[in-house]
A and B are shown apart, each in its own frame.
Chain A
């Protein structure tokens, strides 16, 4: 195993994951310098995290020079968004995901001292089709081009990484396909979805879901920078929660609606900028997505929290809004049994 890189460039530090990864790497004494690249300033809530990180506010085009000039030994590309920005819309999202990745990879290819490349991908790379196998391994090819914008971007991004691997075979390129992240503090469209008191689902469909705890995702990202783990890996908690089961565990009430209604409802919300729910999410709720994490666990020697445990932690932090909790159900059960006993005593 080679020594940890001394200069690490992290893209997308204005966002939850990027800021945390940069902070974690900066806290690692084996790494001398952590540089955060982002076209946007991080929000005030993340600024505290980024104290040990040199920040360069630059878009991807300017970043090309920065990566070579800094003598980066590792590039961690996290500037991949799953939902369009309310202001910039889908065009901005594609610009950032696809064009941004292209430029970062071009810069990485030209960086002479580069030894490591870590790219954030998603399990959306497997697409969504009714002919899909129940469990995806890293070698599963998507059956059809997905209709979700994010999934299409992910396929493009992984295509660029394949090209990069061909051109710089000596660089250890790690692609991490993350399941949706969840934790007590992470804020994503999925966590907001599960925080509502009434959760819309698709009639006649009950998706199999997997989550990964955000802390475990950080640990995996950290290890792939400091250690050598070339290849593509699924990152998810083992085990499965059905969507209906997750809604029940969260003590929420599900509201089944037809798929078309959910799609158009999501489009309306997008239109008004209320919430960015894409076709990616609708597809996830229709098809579900379960991945095999054997390769990750063997290669990294690290087992992420199970999906159920990660979700349980999320529920504990979001108890407001839950109505049908396990405690209340247990109380109701006891009350009914008590009622029957009393009725019987009264009758006899």
Chain B
């Protein structure tokens, strides 16, 4: 306030003085101003008062019923192997701990994700292992009013690895190929894809938040063919979880993987190096790009390429905006 603007009535003690209205409470970081009640109380509930016991009875009964259904095989799996019950009861709660408490994720623009019908969520890929894909899945479950499931399209390397392939399928992922993408979209699912692929997650820390090439734009032609809106999404935070300082190419070739990362903690600390650094995550969904009017251009390379470029630039610009919102990568 300059000298000219000085007004006496703004001083406390004056009759017209009003306390300036506080700004509305805004969640600026993962910590809430008012502590919420924890989602799952600690099992050390022995000293809890008597009425709580019934809740625990219910929980034990539910857990036993779940166990019985699993052991008897009495659950449904869709044609891609997606196990909805297991995802909702096990995968999501586990990943949500990482999402909420470790990465303190904030989500913007969830209203841009379609409530019904298909959608193709296209994001930037980073973080050495594809944790960003998992966090995006949790974000949609957690923040979307309908709690939509994201069906991820993964590299075939994921499906080559035992155990990993089955976990991925049970969690709703399938191989990234046009037939599967189109099939999921025609059945009205929300499909998630990271067109940068290994180029994105395997890039060095020095190249962080620089989007890599977007492949051949296969995801665009699949969306065009089915008339599915494309929702670009920018994810900030995944670059810092395992910063790749160097990539040991000969070792990667020996192991048959796309890259062998050297991070400040891996492989020096052994298994401890697998703990992701607790960076602050921001996820923003951009307004959807409708494609229903472009169906006949699905095979037109110019249209496909331009649209892929548009998506890429949108994501890149949004990543920069988010980075400005988050001055400190490891801030609160």
Contacts and interface: CB of A to CB of B under 8 A. Distances in A.
A330 B69 CA distance: 9
Contact of A240 (B73, B79, B177): B79
Interface stretch (B106-114, B117-125, B156-164): B156-164
7 contacts: A132-B175, A135-B80, A245-B77, A249-B73, A329-B68, A329-B72, A340-B60
Contacts of B156: 130-131
A330 B65 CA distance: 8
Nearest to B80: A134
A140 interface: yes
B64 A337 contact: yes
Contacts of B177: 131, 133
B151 to A, nearest CB: 10
B64 A245 contact: no
B77 A240 contact: yes
B297 to A, nearest CB: 22
Contact of B179 (A133, A202, A247): A133
Interface stretch (A5-13, A55-63, A204-212, A219-227): A204-212
A132 B180 CA distance: 9
Contacts of B83: 242
B60 A248 contact: no
A106 interface: no
A131 B153 CA distance: 12
Interface in A185-209: 202-206, 208
B254 interface: no
B71 A204 contact: no
Given A134-B81, A135-B180, A333 B73 contact: no
Contact of B166 (A132, A205, A325, A329): A205
B165 interface: yes
A244 B170 CA distance: 12
Interface residues on B, range: 35 or more
B300 interface: no
B175 A205 contact: no
Contact of A133 (B53, B170, B175): B175
Interface in A97-146: 130-135, 137, 140
B21 interface: no
Nearest to B177: A133
A242 B81 contact: yes
Nearest to A132: B175
Contacts of B180: 133-135
A326 interface: yes
Given A133-B174, A202-B162, A340-B57, 11 more contacts: A131-B156, A134-B79, A204-B166, A208-B77, A245-B73, A248-B70, A290-B79, A326-B72, A333-B64, A337-B60, A337-B61
Contact of B77 (A135, A242, A326): A242
Contacts, number: 96
Nearest to B50: A348
Interface of B: 53, 57, 60-61, 64-65, 67-68, 70-75, 77-81, 83, 156, 159-160, 162-163, 165-166, 169-170, 174-175, 177, 179-180, 183
Interface of A: 130-135, 137, 140, 202-206, 208, 239-242, 244-249, 288, 290, 292, 324-326, 329-330, 332-333, 336-337, 340, 344
B332 to A, nearest CB: 40
A132 B169 CA distance: 13
A248 B79 contact: no
B179 A140 contact: yes
Contacts of B174: 133-134
Contacts of A131: 156, 159, 175, 177
Contact of B72 (A206, A248, A290, A344): A248
Contact of B183 (A135, A240, A333): A135
A134 B175 contact: yes
A233 to B, nearest CB: 17
Contacts of B60: 337, 340
A135 B70 CA distance: 25
Contacts of B79: 134-135, 208, 239-240, 290
B68 A204 contact: no
A324 B45 CA distance: 33
A248 B169 CA distance: 19
Contacts of A247: 73
A131 B160 CA distance: 8
| Most interface-central of B61, B79, B83 (chain A CB within 10 A) | B79
Give 5 nearest A-B pairs by CB, closest first: A204-B162, A248-B73, A249-B73, A204-B163, A133-B179
A26 to B, nearest CB: 37
A254 B67 CA distance: 17
Given A134-B180, A336-B64, A203 B162 contact: yes
A130 B81 contact: no
Given A130-B159, A135-B179, A135-B183, A208 B165 contact: no
Nearest to B64: A333
Contacts of B162: 202-205
Interface centre among A137, A204, A239, A290 (most CB of B within 10 A): A204
B89 to A, nearest CB: 16
B166 A240 contact: no
A336 B67 CA distance: 12
A330 B68 contact: yes
